[in-house]
Amino acid sequence: MSSDATRRPEGSGSPGDAFDLPGDAAGIEGLAAAGRVPAGAPEPAAAAVSADTSPAFGTGQVETVSIGRLALESGASLPVTVAYRHDGPGPDAPQVLVVHALTGSADAAGDWWEPVIGPGRALDTDRVGVLCANLLGGRYGTTGPTSADPATGGPYGTAFPQPTARDQAALMWALADRLGIGRFALVAGGSLGGMVAQEVALARPSAVGHVTVLGAPAAMGAMAIGWNHIQLELIDALGERGLAIARQLAMTTYRSEADFDGRFGRRVEADGRFSVSSYLDYQGQKILGRFDPETYRVLVRVMDSHDVGRGRGGVRAAFRALEAADTGLTGIGIEGDILFGPEQVRALVRDVAGAGVDAVYREISSSKGHDAFLIEWEQLTAFLEEDLADGLARSRRRAAATA
C-alpha cells in the first residue's frame, strides 16, 4: 500500500511450493533458507522479561515492552521487544486488535487508521481498547534485522531468523498476554495485516469474536508471488537502489489503472519526464528514508508464507476452528484491486462459509485500488462499526455460556 495517501502504509504478497510439503517443518525450513538465515548461526542469549509489570494503556503514543523469547516455526528463537500502541480502556473492557500492512507501524490511531480510531469513531476508544503492534522484523520499534543481535553486538542483518504469518500471530498473542488482554472482540487488518488477522483468530478461535479481513486472500497466489520475487531480485542485485525500484513496482499494484489515469494521464513534468514516472521515482526515494532492504525482505517473505490451509488439511478445514468457536468473519474486497482482487476475497469468504462459519462479503467501492482500505473512510467506518458490534455480541454470548 502506498504511504502518499494521507500518511498510509502498504502491502504486497505470496507462498511457494515449499509451503505445500507434508508437515510444517520442511516448508518453514525452505522459507528460512530463502531468507538466507546462516546454518549453524549462534543462538542469541535469553532475554529477561522487562521489569515493567504494568505496561501503559491509553497513552496515545507508542510504547515498547519485552515479551522474552519467541519461538518461531523454523525452529529458531530470539528475544523480542515489541513496539505497540494501545488507546482506550484497559483489559477489563472489550478489546480490538488492528494489524498493520507491509511498511506500517504500531501507530494506527495516530497515523494510518486515525480516522477510524478514537472517541466516537468506528473503533470508539470511549468504549473499547484498541491495540496495534509493529510486526516482528518491522522497522518501527519491534525486534528486526536492524536490531542488535545479542550474539554479535551488531545488527542481525541477513542473520535475522525468518518469521511466518503464524509467527506474527504468535507475537500478537504474546503481547496480549503480556498486557493482560485475554480476548479480542474484533481483529482487523488489511493486506499483510489481513493475513496475520486470520492467523491470530485461528491461533485462539475462542478468544476472538469477529475477524475483518481487508484486501487479503486465504493463501497467496502465483501473481503476487511473482511480483514479490521480482522485488527481492532487484534488492539482491542492487541493494538500496533495488529497494527503491522494488517500491516503485509495488506502488503500481497498490493503485488502480483508473486512479493512475485520472491522476497522471500522459502529463509531462518540466524536466520532460511523464508525471507518473516522477511520482514513482519520488516513492522509491521516500522508502529509503524510512526502510531498509533486509526489513523489506523479511516482511515480504512473511507474506510469501501465508496459507491458512498449510498443515491444517486445506483452507476450508482450517476455518472449521472458527465455526466451533462461533467466531464471525467479514471479507472486504476492493473494487479495482490489482494485488488481491475481489474474487480472491470472495473465495476466502466462500471457504469460510463452507466451513460453517458466519461469514459475509463486503466490497469497498473506489477508484483507488488496493490502497482504498487506507483511504475510503466512510465505507470503512460503516463496515468496522458493523463488525465490532457483531464481535461484541458474540463475545457476550460466549461469556454468558461459560459463566
Q: Cell numbers of 353, please?
A: 462459509
177 is annotated as an active-site residue:
no
- What pLDDT does 296 receive? 97
Give pLDDT, residue 57. 74
Calpha distance 168→305 (Å, rounded): 11
Our answer to whether residue 370 is catalytic in this structure is yes
Q: Shortest CA distance to 317 belongs to which of 309, 325, 328?
A: 309
Cα–Cα distance for residue pair 336/393, rounded to 1 Å: 33
CA distance 32 to 380: 36
- Domains plus CATH for the chain? 23-88+97-156 (3.40.50.1820), 224-300 (1.10.1740.110)
Question: What pLDDT score was predicted for residue 72?
Answer: 98
pLDDT of residue 56: 72
pLDDT for the residue numbered 20: 35
Given the residues 256, 366, 370, 395, the one annotated as active site? 370
C-alpha angle 379-209-393 in degrees, rounded to nearest 5: 80
Look up the pTM and report it. 0.88
Q: Is 3 a catalytic residue?
A: no
Q: What are the CA-CA distances from residue 109 to residues 94, 121, 146, 201, 330 (Å)? A: 17, 11, 25, 22, 22
How does strand 129-133 pair with strand 95-99? parallel
Q: Mean pLDDT of residues grouped by 10 in the chain (403 residues)? A: 39 33 38 40 36 63 95 98 97 97 96 97 98 97 97 96 98 97 98 98 98 98 96 97 98 95 96 97 95 97 98 98 98 97 98 98 97 98 98 94 84
C-alpha distances (whole Å) from 204 to each of 82, 163, 209 are: 20, 19, 11
User: What distance in Å separates the CA atoms of residue 247 and residue 355, rounded to the nearest whole number?
Assistant: 37
Distances, alpha carbon 108 to alpha carbons 42, 125, 285, in Å: 35, 13, 23
Of the listed 14, 105, 147, 191, which one is catalytic?
191
Q: Which of 337, 351, 371, 390 is catalytic?
A: 337
pLDDT of residue 53: 54
Q: What is the pLDDT of residue 60?
A: 74
Question: DSSP code of 260?
Answer: H
Phi and psi at 83, nearest 5°, equal -90, 130
